[in-house]
Amino acid sequence: MEGLRFFFYHIRKNPLSVVGLTLIIIFAIIAIFAPLIAPTPEGQFDPYKIPRDGYSQPPKPPSAEHIFGTTEGQYDIFYGVIWGTRTAFKIGIVVMGAVLVIGIALGSIAGYFGGIVDEVIMRITDIFLAFPPLILAMAVTIALGPGITSVMLAIIVVSWPSYARVIRGDILSIREEDYIEASRSVGSSHLRVILRHVLPNSIYPVFIMASLDIGAVVLTAAALSFLGLGLPTGYADWGQMINFARNWIVGTQNNTFAYWHAVMIPGLFIFFFVMGWNLLGDSLRDILDPRLARR
């Protein structure tokens, strides 16, 4: 209970975290109720295919039929951004989950056992970290062919090394602590020590990193689809929708902002989604850090 009071005191001092949490909750609600908010048209099997109202190129402004208007190729923007929320959560959570599992597993092994095992695993992370993430993700996406799975796999490949390193670093310092030695001396197996003592103490910074990074994951995925890689055309994804709008940013002869909706709306969705996670992760870091320092 004391911890909870402490937590709320800091939340009060840090109103931005409330904003972040609210944003995420709003997006979660949108994602969960997507079929209700933007129902898939009759007869369409795949809900992630954005319905098209015709095939003409120029985007059309918001109207009664299309609440947010349409983008290039007459894809309905409203449908796209609503279902795009689901895509974003899907990619963010799946990728983050996989990265955490792989990163923690490998990082713990490297940090706990040290020696050769550590060196080898570290060199492997070095190799993956040697590439600018987007470039490697691009290469992997191409190699694996189009589809949401390759996008997710590509980002997982690119992201796991940093987590492995962080966990390894934490474990290296915790490993020297006395209670580890004490536990081993009463006969705990390596696995038990890792699960019961090492991990619970090193997990905080990793979770902070994870909540901050969900935003980065979604941004990378959006970047990939913006570049036209990975997801099939017409898939409900924010990045792709901005890609559709890119040719229309200069508007018409008399009105530069004629097609603002096609650019701004998907962009705003990305922006607020990522910002929500960033605010949350940021304030988590502020809250947990001084607490750790108070020890």
Q: Which residues bind another protein (CB under 8 A)?
A: 9, 16, 123-124, 126-128, 130-136, 138-140, 142-144, 215, 219, 222-223, 226-229, 239, 242, 245-246, 249-251, 256-257, 260, 263-264, 267, 270-272, 274-275, 278-279, 282
Sequence-separated (6 or more) residues with CB below 8 Å from residue 150: 140, 141, 144, 230
**CA gap 137, 129 in Å, rounded:** 12
Nearer of residues 92 and 215 to another protein, judged by Cβ:
215
Sequence-separated (6 or more) residues with CB below 8 Å from residue 91: 148, 151, 152, 155, 217, 218, 221
Cβ atoms 38, 52 nearer than 8 A = no
Residue 192 Cβ vs another protein, minimum distance, rounded to whole Å:
33
Nearer of residues 193 and 212 to another protein, judged by Cβ:
212
Nearer of residues 202 and 220 to another protein, judged by Cβ:
220
Nearer of residues 31 and 280 to another protein, judged by Cβ:
280
| Sign of the C-alpha dihedral computed for residues 172, 157, 117 and 180 taken in this order | positive
Nearer of residues 200 and 228 to another protein, judged by Cβ:
228
Residue 137 Cβ vs another protein, minimum distance, rounded to whole Å:
9
Residues facing 75 on adjacent strands: 52, 71
Cβ atoms 85, 34 nearer than 8 A = yes
Residue 219 Cβ vs another protein, minimum distance, rounded to whole Å:
6
Record the tokens describing residue 261, joined without a space. Answer: 């909706």
Cβ atoms 276, 23 nearer than 8 A = yes
Residue 293 Cβ vs another protein, minimum distance, rounded to whole Å:
9
**CA gap 281, 295 in Å, rounded:** 21
Nearer of residues 174 and 216 to another protein, judged by Cβ:
216
Residue labelled with tokens 């474990």: 171
Residue 33 Cβ vs another protein, minimum distance, rounded to whole Å:
24
Residue 135 Cβ vs another protein, minimum distance, rounded to whole Å:
5
Which ranges of the chain does DSSP label H, i.e. alpha helix?
A: 2-13, 15-32, 34-37, 77-113, 115-129, 133-144, 148-175, 178-185, 190-193, 199-226, 238-245, 260-294
Residue 266 Cβ vs another protein, minimum distance, rounded to whole Å:
8
Nearer of residues 51 and 131 to another protein, judged by Cβ:
131
Instruction: Give, in order, the Cα–Cα distances in Å from 274 to each of 70, 124, 213.
Output: 24, 30, 9
Q: Which residue from 70, 86, 77, 71 is spatially nearest to 36, judged by alpha carbons?
A: 86
Nearer of residues 57 and 189 to another protein, judged by Cβ:
57
